[in-house]
């Protein structure tokens, strides 16, 4: 049982996943700091409040409806999504385009370029079929 656990832990996928979780948590803290300390204060400077929590707050039959809290969460989500897009996704797309251009591939050819691991697996499959 312990040998099986050790083999499981030593697999590359588990280690890669652990590293991804740690880096994701650290990046999440960076994005949260960006939104909380830079973007939301800029919105507060424009709107006059750091959040919309007190906007459209009313009581209906003893239940408090806080539409402003939802609005704040929505704005935070949009700011976080924009930060992730402009900090990670967009630069990675540009980097991939530059790498494809350096290799002399057009954008369509780069998208169609097969994964080398898949090509190798297909070759192995074909060789196994030929052995029969």
DSSP string, 72-94: HHHHHHHHHHHHHIIIIIHHHHH
pTM for the full predicted model: 0.53
Helix (H, G, I), strand (E, B) or coil at 129: helix
pLDDT 10s digits, 34-74 = 888 888 788 788 877 777 788 788 888 888 888 888 888 88
CATH classification at residue 25: 1.10.1200.120
Q: What is the pLDDT of residue 71?
A: 87
Extract the tokens encoding 13: 């996928």
Q: Which of these ranges, 4-8, 9-13, 63-67, has the smallest mean pLDDT?
A: 9-13
Q: Are 83 and 34 in contact (CB under 8 A)?
A: yes
Q: What is the pLDDT of residue 1?
A: 74
Give the percent of the chain with pLDDT over 90: 0
pLDDT greater than 60 at residue 110: no
Q: What is the pLDDT of residue 82?
A: 85
Overall number of domains in the chain: 1
Give the residue numbers spanning the domain of 75.
Answer: 2-131
Regarding predicted confidence, which is higher, 111 or 104?
Answer: 104
């Amino acid at each position: 049982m312990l040998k099986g656990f050790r083999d499981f832990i030593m697999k590359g996928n588990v280690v890669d996943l652990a590293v991804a979780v740690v880096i994701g948590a650290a990046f999440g803290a960076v994005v949260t700091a960006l939104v909380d300390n830079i973007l939301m204060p800029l919105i507060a400077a424009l709107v006059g409040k750091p959040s919309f929590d007190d906007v459209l707050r009313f009581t209906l039959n003893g239940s408090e409806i806080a539409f402003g809290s939802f609005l704040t969460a929505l704005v935070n989500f949009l700011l976080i999504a924009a930060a992730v897009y402009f900090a990670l996704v967009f630069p990675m797309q540009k980097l991939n385009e530059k790498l494809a251009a350096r290799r002399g591939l057009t954008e369509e050819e780069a998208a169609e370029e097969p994964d080398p691991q898949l090509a190798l697996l297909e070759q192995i499959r074909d060789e196994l079929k030929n052995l029969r």
